[in-house]
Copies of this chain bind each other. A is one copy, B any other.
């Protein structure tokens, strides 16, 4: 389901997404939505690429995840197929068989080894996988295109805007690019992975290092966001390289100075895409960043940050521009972590709302009311217990979230 409505937190303009050399794009419409739109994106690598993947920890997973695990042991990829509209999760043998049929079709149509076919699905859980519609749609002969924005649109579900970015940098004296696209926007509390994110690079990096890099950068980006605390059965992020750019010396560690710029830009791309997903959180009207600092451990900081970010009462108060910081106190408390009330400092923007275990008497309530009218709200929780920190990005809980999710399937 897509809506004409666009999130008020959407970036003013969508950055130009630059094509990655050696990757051909196709989009198709299999009629998986009521309105006419593209719902399939296909990426064909001209030469075999490398691929790293992280995915949901959920115990019931999409059948696509099993396929990828089995067929991509070589971590070499020639085709990436993504459909929206159906998750291919809890679809039984019909869903498993469908992937084989799909892989065979792509394999013969594009002359690709079947074990270099990577597949992702997103949409409703538990409905039979619409393999007939999909096979019929992809049977059309099409010329490849380089329109990455179109591909970003084809993978949208309840997203209200397409998500993509390109960053360029110098690698051994030549221009190199990173292009990523992603989709949200509900059932989002990623753990080790998220929703769907596809990031394409060009540098030849050994596959085990590529995987390590992906895990690390995901931890600092997609794993630090939450929309509704619900974790998808299909969350997947991939990092794929065309290997167009060969380093002067083979890269052996993530600390290799040859990839210093690259790593910086990669992190930027991941954090930007994660940020866009929260900006398009279902029904979101406020982007809320929560920084828990001076915790005794990162585990403690993370537990508290997540508890606040997922508290329905806190999120609804922010939606209502209501400075009900007592709900932050509540969300901290319900982690059962030992807190020193006298040391706890809660700040909204530049306004410290607590002081020595009570409301800050110097608090200017009209100023804080004004602050809460902003679209981007920064909350800092200083525990005063140690020196560890954790950041998380979330959005508010609004009437529109209920609108979208009360009738998603019917």
Residues of A within 8 A of B (CB): 56-61, 87, 89-95, 124-128, 186-187, 189, 228-233, 310-313, 316-317, 319-327, 329-339, 341, 353-354, 356-359, 369, 397-399, 401-403, 405-410
Q: Which one of B325, B338, B408 lies within 8 Å of A322 (CB-CB)?
A: B408
* Residues from chain B with Cβ under 8 Å of A321 in the complex: 410
Known: A323-B409, A369-B410. A59 touches B335 (CB 8 A): yes
B230 touches A331 (CB 8 A): yes
B401 touches A329 (CB 8 A): no
CA distance A402 to B404 in the complex (A): 14
CA distance A232 to B311 in the complex (A): 12
CA distance A64 to B108 in the complex (A): 73
CA distance A57 to B338 in the complex (A): 11
CA distance A33 to B127 in the complex (A): 50
* Residues from chain B with Cβ under 8 Å of A336 in the complex: 57-59
**Which of A56, A125, A127 has the most CB atoms of chain B within a 10 A radius of its CB?**
A125
Pick the 9 closest A-B CB pairs, nearest first.
A320-B406, A125-B326, A92-B358, A58-B333, A126-B326, A316-B405, A60-B333, A231-B334, A324-B409
Known: A399-B399, A409-B322. A90 touches B358 (CB 8 A): yes
14 A-B contact pairs sorted by A residue (CB < 8 Å): A90-B357, A92-B341, A92-B358, A128-B359, A228-B312, A230-B312, A230-B334, A312-B401, A313-B405, A316-B405, A320-B406, A321-B410, A326-B409, A399-B403
The quantity of this chain's copies bound in the complex is 2
Known: A58-B330, A60-B332, A312-B228. A317 touches B128 (CB 8 A): no
B230 touches A320 (CB 8 A): no
* Residues from chain B with Cβ under 8 Å of A339 in the complex: 59-60
Q: Which one of B230, B325, B330 lies within 8 Å of A330 (CB-CB)?
A: B230
* Residues from chain B with Cβ under 8 Å of A327 in the complex: 125, 187, 230
Least Cβ–Cβ distance between A283 and chain B, in angstroms: 9
B233 touches A329 (CB 8 A): yes
**Which of A232, A323, A406, A407 has the most CB atoms of chain B within a 10 A radius of its CB?**
A406
A407 touches B320 (CB 8 A): yes
* Residues from chain B with Cβ under 8 Å of A408 in the complex: 317, 320, 322, 324
**Which of A90, A324, A336 has the most CB atoms of chain B within a 10 A radius of its CB?**
A90
CA distance A322 to B127 in the complex (A): 14
* Residues from chain B with Cβ under 8 Å of A369 in the complex: 410
CA distance A61 to B125 in the complex (A): 41
CA distance A197 to B105 in the complex (A): 63
CA distance A233 to B329 in the complex (A): 9
B341 touches A410 (CB 8 A): no
Least Cβ–Cβ distance between A184 and chain B, in angstroms: 13
CA distance A258 to B136 in the complex (A): 74
Least Cβ–Cβ distance between A205 and chain B, in angstroms: 30
CA distance A336 to B191 in the complex (A): 11
A187 touches B330 (CB 8 A): yes
Q: Which one of B60, B330, B357, B359 lies within 8 Å of A127 (CB-CB)?
A: B359
Q: Which one of B127, B189, B322, B353 lies within 8 Å of A326 (CB-CB)?
A: B127
